Amino acid sequence: MSTARKAYLGVAGLLGFALLLELAPRVGLVPARYAPPTSEILRTLAEQLGEDRFWLAVADTLHTWLLGLAIAVALGVALGVFIGTVPVLRAATASTIEFLRPIPSVALIPLVVVLWGSTITSTLVLVVYASFWQVLVQVLHGVADIDPVAQDTARSYRLGRWQRVRYLVWPTALPYVATGVRLAATVALILTITGELVIGSPGLGREIATARSSGAVAVMYALIVVTGLFGVAANLATRAAERRALHWHPSMRAEAVPA
Amino acid sequence: MRRHLAVLLLSTALLATACGSDDAGGQSSGEGPDKVTVGVIPILDVAPIYLGVEKGFFDKRGMDVKLEQAEGGAAIVPAVVSGQYQFGFSNVVSLLLAHSQGLPVKMVSNGNNSTGVDGKDFASLMVKGDSPIKSPKDLEGKTVAANTLQNIVDTSVRASVRKDGGDPSKVKFVPLPFPEQPAALQSGRVDAVFVVEPFQQAVLADGGRPIASSYVDAAPNLTVATYFASKQLIGENPDLVKRFTDAMTESLSYADSHPDEAREIIGSYTKIAPEVIEKVTLPKWPAEVNRDSVQTLADLALDDGLLDKAADVDSLLP
């Protein structure tokens, strides 16, 4: 299927969904007061675009999200390569990682609220905690995927530790890192909005909560649409970055060849 | 390839720092105004403090006030006790409960009161327009939505039922946040709701009708909520607490005598639609805590089993 055709179908699907949400309240399937039609949500969204408060919330959310993601990726890659290349360390940490990783970040909300109150720091801790594991686990898999022959070759040529990381570990792990970053970007966004919504740290999530407690239903949906657009943007951006960083990799080259 | 990822990481980090900066709360040391953080809920009740900050009532007493919006009062008490916030806003029953659990909290200023006018308060017990329920005693065996169980709302609703000659123990309460109550009433999931503004207006718009003003039934001129501090802060910095109380007194009196300005400021920190803000019934904002009403609530809480033993109300009151 051509790229253009794919894009058309994607847009058509979105329009169909919007039409469905427009019609459902209009024909009385759901009460319009609590589920306003698409046109009203979009009109409210346009109004929001003209308000300083909206842009401040967008800036706060971007700040928490991107900072949290950057910290998680840096930590995940550094620790992942370190733990992954030292077999003893890897064996020693495996069970601890498997224990800590499934703890849902939101379960830490009571803890962070007591420690840091309803500040950006609280939400940031949740974001970093949740997205860190996505990156770490991918990097560990990536490091484990090194071709044993290549490993032996590197050893024969007496490559130093740093050179092995640079020319062997990193190229092998990179596709995994890219996947980790893509997963982490979405998880980080979810946790950013959740934290703002539940903890009340500044950002779009808190604005959604305020709209809800003010009975401003259309405003609430308009802000929810914005968070959805953030998610789409995150996916497009990480995919584009992945394509550029991995243009040499077979998985990317296969995509370019017409089927 | 490595450069690409490094550039991506660096640019996200830069963008992130450019988008805002972390704010450190707490008090400043040395010269300059004291930094004060107050935990509030984005509802009508806290209009006076927003108005007071805008009018400079805190500035002129050497306080740089930051109002932190918390989602619900439950988060505010721990944050005040741990020192994240210097002051907080909470309803009286929540404070009675925290106090009885041994948390070191003490009221420092009044928050807001009911209007004291039956049938014209900022909160009411409401049923659907075509409901057979005529008065609170008809709620026996029925389901009533309350935003939180074992708190000020169900205590007040039970007071309405008792006053009307019904048995409050036969009323079933279900927890439901205020924003969801109008829809739940409309769809028949509950028989009655107890809503505050602006949801009172939402229920009225759906054709619902009020059957009681429970905050009025609970006690005359009931103090619904107050501002409080930790006993630690009161012991360490009585001067700051005194200045806060003075600034609040001025803010409360100002808001009470300038309802139009109060309505205007509500539009700035909530997202309530302007046409609704015009219609909502505002609470009363007396400068003094109604001590008798706090005692009455403590008695009701003891009768209803919220408290195990009689509360030491005097040590909680300012």
Segment A232-257 shows an average pLDDT of: 78
Q: Which of A63, A73, A170 shows the shortest C-beta gap to B9?
A: A73
Report d(CA A127, CA A112) in Å as an integer.
Answer: 12
Of B8, B187, B265, B277, which to mutate for an interface test with A (greatest number of A Cβ within 10 Å)? B8
Asked whether the predicted pLDDT for residue B250 surpasses 90, the reply is yes
pLDDT band at B9 (very low <50, low <70, confident <90, very high): very low
Q: Give the model confidence (pLDDT) of A90-99 as tens digits.
A: 889 989 998 9
Q: Which A-chain residues 80-109 have CB contacts (< 8 A) with chain B?
A: none
- B129 neighbors B209 (Cβ within 8 angstroms): yes
3-state secondary structure of A6: helix
Q: Which of A33, A171, A216 shows the shortest C-beta gap to B271?
A: A216
Instruction: List, in order, residues 6 or more apart from B170 with CB less than 8 Å away.
Output: B140, B141
Q: Give the model confidence (pLDDT) of B199-241 as tens digits.
A: 999 999 889 999 999 999 888 899 999 999 999 999 999 999 9
The more confident residue out of B65 and B20 is B65
Contact (CB<8Å) A214/B8: no
Highest mean pLDDT: which range of A238-247, B7-16, B82-91: B82-91
pLDDT band at B193 (very low <50, low <70, confident <90, very high): very high
Tokens found for residue B242: 């005194």
Q: Does A242 touch chain B (CB under 8 A)?
A: no
Q: Which of B75, B198, B201 shows the shortest C-beta gap to A113?
A: B75
Residues composing chain B: 318
Average pLDDT for chain A: 87
Tokens found for residue B249: 């007194």
Segment A202-230 shows an average pLDDT of: 91
CA pseudo-torsion sign B273, B278, B283, B284: positive
- Cβ-based contacts of B41 with chain A (< 8 Å): 213
Q: Which residue of A has its CA nearest to B206?
A: A33
From B202's Cα to the closest Cα of chain A, the distance in A is 8
- First-last CA distance in chain A: 8
Q: Which of A116, A210, A245 shows the shortest C-beta gap to B4?
A: A245
ipTM of this complex prediction, to 2 decimal places: 0.73
Asked whether the predicted pLDDT for residue A250 surpasses 90, the reply is no
DSSP 8-state class, residue B151: S
Q: Which residue of A has its CA nearest to B42?
A: A210
Q: What are φ and ψ of residue B141, in 5° steps? A: 80, 0
- B102 neighbors B307 (Cβ within 8 angstroms): no
Single-letter code of the amino acid located at B264: E
Of B271, B275, B276, B277, which to mutate for an interface test with A (greatest number of A Cβ within 10 Å)? B271
Q: Which of A67, A119, A206 shows the shortest C-beta gap to B23?
A: A119
Contact (CB<8Å) B43/A244: no
Asked whether the predicted pLDDT for residue A7 surpasses 90, the reply is no
Single-letter code of the amino acid located at A144: A
From B275's Cα to the closest Cα of chain A, the distance in A is 12
